[in-house]
């Protein structure tokens, strides 16, 4: 029997209509376009303005985009994983609702949370289900409504994050294409440097936690930047060494879109030419779990069957890693 690998066979995406530009942010906090661009590479980000809609809406829209493009019958989907840091609710799984709303009534679903590494870790999970032989179609969605946890008076964070969703379908492959290796890591030292302090079991929600603004994301920017640069670059270098790959073997780097300087540092460590490094951070900002699939969707037409793609991400916790994947199809 041929070895089963898990390949991405379709992608989809969704971003809200409202564009929050650097110029608009200048009217909200003490910042300016030149400062934001120089330090992050971000020019604009998308915001879901409708308060009645949550992360599930973004995920559903991305899934529907994928299904329409791939002519996929939702009844064929075995599993829906929603990678997210901003679930609709603390208990009810967002993925269960998303699966029902898209018509994937034969699927089971659950959420996966590893901050900005959620989609990367979700790729590993989806691939494992496929490689087990038990399931044929796993839909992995990365979605986050970051505007729901951002303090728009905090110039350190409000310039970074945006809302969006992307989706990827994983299916069995017998040609040696798909996910071939992974290097995934975590370190609890990061717990205090990038977090939402209250709202969990450690510090439950009270009137005081709301008054003290403890339900929005905070980060120690310098510390997170230092760890992100080192670990994303290390993981990417490690995955190359483990698979005897050189920079010449790599067709594309798909990095987490948190900061252009972090992406540049990772690419430099891998000695990659600029044209191999895929970026859309200038358009969307950091959409957390959605960054990797949004890149896949935006650049899908450039990928060729057999292309070597290296994924890299870093997130709160800390969580980080790299994945080596062979692209499985040519976009028609």
Please say if 286 is a catalytic residue.
Answer: yes
Tell me what the mean pLDDT of segment 245-267 comes to.
Answer: 96
Tell me what the mean pLDDT of segment 227-245 comes to.
Answer: 96
Tell me what the mean pLDDT of segment 200-221 comes to.
Answer: 95
Give the model's pLDDT for residue 125: 98
Residue 293, pLDDT > 60, answer: yes
pLDDT greater at residue 266 or residue 332? 266
* Strand-pair category, 252-255 with 308-315: parallel
Tell me what the mean pLDDT of segment 252-273 comes to.
Answer: 96
How large a percentage of the chain has pLDDT more than 90?
Answer: 98
Q: Which pLDDT band, with edges at 50, 70 and 90, does 217 fall under?
A: very high
Average pLDDT, the chain: 97
Q: Is-above-0.95 flag for pTM? A: yes
The residue annotated as part of the active site, out of 22, 173, 259, 286, is 286
Give the model's pLDDT for residue 206: 97
Q: Specify whether the CB–CB gap between 218 and 196 falls below 8 A.
A: yes
The residue annotated as part of the active site, out of 231, 256, 259, 297, is 256
Q: Specify whether the CB–CB gap between 239 and 233 falls below 8 A.
A: no
Please say if 116 is a catalytic residue.
Answer: yes
Residue 332, pLDDT > 80, answer: no
Secondary structure of the chain as H, E, C letters: CCCCEEEEEEEEEECCCEEEEHHHHHCCCCCCHHHHHHHHCCCEEEECCCCCCCHHHHHHHHHHHHHHHHCCCHHHCCEEEEECCCCCCCCCCHHHHHHHHCCCCCCEEEEECECECHHHHHHHHHHHHHHCCCCCCEEEEEEEEHHHHCCCCCHHHHCCECEEEEEEEEEEECCCCEEEEEEEEECHHHHHCEECCCCCCCCCCCHHHHHCCCCCCEECHHHHHHHHHHHHHHHHHHHHHHCCCCCCCCCEEEECCCCHHHHHHHHHHCCCCHHHECCCHHHHCECHHHHHHHHHHHCHHHCCCCCEEEEEEEECCCEEEEEEEECCCCCC
Tell me what the mean pLDDT of segment 79-98 comes to.
Answer: 98
Please say if 244 is a catalytic residue.
Answer: no
Give the model's pLDDT for residue 2: 77
The residue annotated as part of the active site, out of 116, 158, 216, 259, is 116
CA angle at residue 63 from 57 to 68, to 5 degrees? 125
Tell me what the mean pLDDT of segment 161-183 comes to.
Answer: 98
Residue 260, pLDDT > 60, answer: yes
Rounded distance between C-alpha atoms, residue 108 and residue 126, angstroms? 13
Residue 1, pLDDT > 70, answer: no
Q: Which pLDDT band, with edges at 50, 70 and 90, does 181 fall under?
A: very high
């Amino acid at each position: 029997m041929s070895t089963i690998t898990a390949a991405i066979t379709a992608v989809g995406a969704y971003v809200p209509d409202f564009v929050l530009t650097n110029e608009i942010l200048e009217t909200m906090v003490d910042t300016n376009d030149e400062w934001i661009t120089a330090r992050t590479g971000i020019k604009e980000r998308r915001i879901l303005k409708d308060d009645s809609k949550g992360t599930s809406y973004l995920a559903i829209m991305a899934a529907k985009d994928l299904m329409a493009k791939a002519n996929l019958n939702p009844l064929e989907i075995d599993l829906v994983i929603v990678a997210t840091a901003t679930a609709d609710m603390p208990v009810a799984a967002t993925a269960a609702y998303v699966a029902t709303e898209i018509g994937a009534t034969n699927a089971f679903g659950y959420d996966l949370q590893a901050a900005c590494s959620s989609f990367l870790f979700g790729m590993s999970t989806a691939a494992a289900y496929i490689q087990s032989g038990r399931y044929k179609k796993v839909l992995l969605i990365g979605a986050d409504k970051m505007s729901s946890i951002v303090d728009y008076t905090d110039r350190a964070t409000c310039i970074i994050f945006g809302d969006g969703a992307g989706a990827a379908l994983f299916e069995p492959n017998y040609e040696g294409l798909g996910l071939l290796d992974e290097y995934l890591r975590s370190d609890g030292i990061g717990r205090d440097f990038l977090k939402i302090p209250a709202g969990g079991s450690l510090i439950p929600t009270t009137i005081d936690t709301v008054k003290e603004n403890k339900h929005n994301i905070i980060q120690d920017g310098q510390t997170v930047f230092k760890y992100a640069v080192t670990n994303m670059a290390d993981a990417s270098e490690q995955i190359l060494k483990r698979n005897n790959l050189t920079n010449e073997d790599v067709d594309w780097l798909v990095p987490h879109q948190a900061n252009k300087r972090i992406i540049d540092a990772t690419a430099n460590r891998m000695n990659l030419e600029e044209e191999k490094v895929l970026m859309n951070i200038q358009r969307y900002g950091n959409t957390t779990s959605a960054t990797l699939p949004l890149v896949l969707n935006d650049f899908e037409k450039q990928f060729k069957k057999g292309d070597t793609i290296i994924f890299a991400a870093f997130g709160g916790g800390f969580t980080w890693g790299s994945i080596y994947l062979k692209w499985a199809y040519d976009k028609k």
